[in-house]
Structure 1
Amino acid sequence: MSQPVSRPEHPDHENPWAMQLVIHRNKQDPANHLDVLEAAGTAVVQLLDDPQASDPRGAWAAAVAHWRAGWIRKVARRAENKRWDDVHNLDGITAASGSAQVRALVPGPVDPLPAAIKKLQVRGTELPRLRASVQQHTVVSIEVTPHTELTTGKAAAQVGHAAQLAYEHLVEQSHAGDDQAQQVLAAWRDDNFRIRVEEPSVSQWDATDRPVRVMDAGLTEVCGVTETARAYW
């Protein structure tokens, strides 16, 4: 069976599209880093599985299909107070994990952006690394590379990629009649697409292979094409 890998050498659109991931930030009580990554991954898959996106006649289907034809580009931003409230006027899905909330928005052009998104900051989105994941017994788990230090925002996008690739692989295999994939997908859907994010050691990462791998194009934070996240079930 071929291994799903994101391929940054795949042609992107001339006018790039992206899925915006908006992280809820509370300066007085910041969310835990890993909670944010888990909420981001879950939000991405919940949006893709929503009938508005998955049904070809759905209101979001054309936008999602156009975006998927290029790079599965994701941009993580942060919002608080009224700005967090404002993004809920845009089409998307909000997911939570532990202390974190992340809203995945229906993909659209990188430029121009809706006013509610354009004002949100991208760079330097870093939240405290307070503890390990609180998620237990998830159907899908995602590992983040120990070889490169990623900010919370960058890591959230990479986890979102891994969750998307896992979902799309399971959907494809299910449609092909794979009973195991059908069971995994059904169980994951019943669990509202929760994920657990893990941080393996260098030796664990180097010695392990997983069915889904994310290769980042190296546009931000990492130099050159770099494997950043993996998913397994």
Structure 2
Amino acid sequence: MTSSDFPPPPFADAHSPRDEAPQFVLPLVLHLEKTAPPARTDALETAARAVLALLSDPRAEGEGPWAEAVRDWQDARIRKVVRRARGAEWRRAEALDGLTLSGGSAEVRVYPPIPLDGWPKDLAKLQVSGTELSDAEPPAAPAPGTPVVWLNPEVDMSAGKTMAQAGHAVQLAWWELDGERRAAWAEAGFPLAVRTADKERWRELVAAGLPVVHDAGFTEVVPGSATAVADLRQLGR
């Protein structure tokens, strides 16, 4: 469930000066018990909110204890990796410095960025691949005024990959917001929805100039694939 790596737009699938910088990764861990797996949409939305919560946390800003790692991560490729944990694994994961976000049936913990080869042992041994989630019922239409991450209906991705893509999309959108809109969204608890667009809506979203995630193709999808669009046009209105 490793996310691909991409720079802020414009997307560049060729070698970039960003590749010369030390490479970091943002770890996310999904709480996944065998007997009570979360709904897929809950996991996607909670992962996206977790990324936003970390970016807006005072510890990630200014001279905060996470700020240097966040800057180093954003100066290089913006990598995210989603792993899963249950039972004692989850309890050990929760003991590490980070934030846990809950949404519906899902819990996701996000951590400050770490070097690619610097995984804490309690996270390094967690499984990355093989997790599939489903929704008992198709998710309802997003409530009016809700920011939405729209997924490409023609790109098939695992649950973990999609969680990372949703996080990428809201991060791109976050960079485009002014301070007032960021503060208002954070104060509201980052309400958002993640849905799969139909083909016509997807074409309209991509043409609208909204933040689009283009995947570098290191896992699961063809390099350059457009995977997700963040539509925040209703935010703050």
Q: TM-score, normalised by structure 1?
A: 0.87
- The equivalent residue for 1:198 is 195
1:177-192 map, 5 Å: 182=180, 184-192=181-189
8 Å contact from structure 1 (residues 210, 230) kept in 2: no
State the secondary structure of the residue aligned to 2:99. Answer: strand
Return the offset for 1:45: 0.5
- Residues paired across the two proteins, number: 219
State the secondary structure of the residue aligned to 1:12. Answer: helix
Return the offset for 1:141: 1.2
8 Å contact from structure 1 (residues 138, 195) kept in 2: no
- The equivalent residue for 1:123 is 129
State the secondary structure of the residue aligned to 1:65. Answer: helix
1:193 corresponds to which letter in structure 2?
Answer: F
Alignment CA distance shift 1:186-1:113 (3 Å): closer
1:46 corresponds to which letter in structure 2?
Answer: A
8 Å contact from structure 2 (residues 22, 76) kept in 1: no
2:32 corresponds to which letter in structure 1?
Answer: R
Unaligned runs of 5+ in 1: 175-181
2: CA distance, partners of 1:84 / 1:8: 36
State the secondary structure of the residue aligned to 1:75. Answer: strand
- The equivalent residue for 1:179 is none
Q: Does 1:163 align with 2:167?
A: no
2: CA distance, partners of 1:72 / 1:86: 26
The CA deviation string for residues 158-185 of structure 1, in whole angstroms up to 9 with x for no partner, is 0000111111211xx44xxxxxxx2x32
Q: TM-score, normalised by structure 2?
A: 0.86
Return the offset for 1:13: 4.7
- The equivalent residue for 1:207 is 204
2: CA distance, partners of 1:7 / 1:188: 26
- The equivalent residue for 1:140 is 147
Alignment CA distance shift 1:224-1:90 (3 Å): same
1: CA distance, partners of 2:162 / 2:46: 12
- The equivalent residue for 2:11 is 7
- The equivalent residue for 2:226 is 227
State the secondary structure of the residue aligned to 1:229. Answer: strand
Return the offset for 1:186: 3.1
Unaligned runs of 5+ in 2: 1-7, 233-237
Return the offset for 1:86: 0.8
Return the offset for 1:77: 0.5
Aligned identity (percent) is 37
Return the offset for 1:89: 1.9
Return the offset for 1:128: 1.7
1: CA distance, partners of 2:159 / 2:145: 21
| Cα RMSD (Å) | 1.8
Return the offset for 1:130: 2.4
- The equivalent residue for 1:177 is none
1: CA distance, partners of 2:202 / 2:97: 37
Match among 42, 45, 56 for residue 38 of structure 1 = 45
8 Å contact from structure 1 (residues 38, 195) kept in 2: yes
1:45-84 map, 5 Å: 45-54=52-61, 56-84=62-90
Return the offset for 1:6: 6.3
The CA deviation string for residues 54-84 of structure 1, in whole angstroms up to 9 with x for no partner, is 2x11010000000000111000100011111
The CA deviation string for residues 111-146 of structure 1, in whole angstroms up to 9 with x for no partner, is 131101111011122112323446645642111111
8 Å contact from structure 1 (residues 210, 232) kept in 2: no
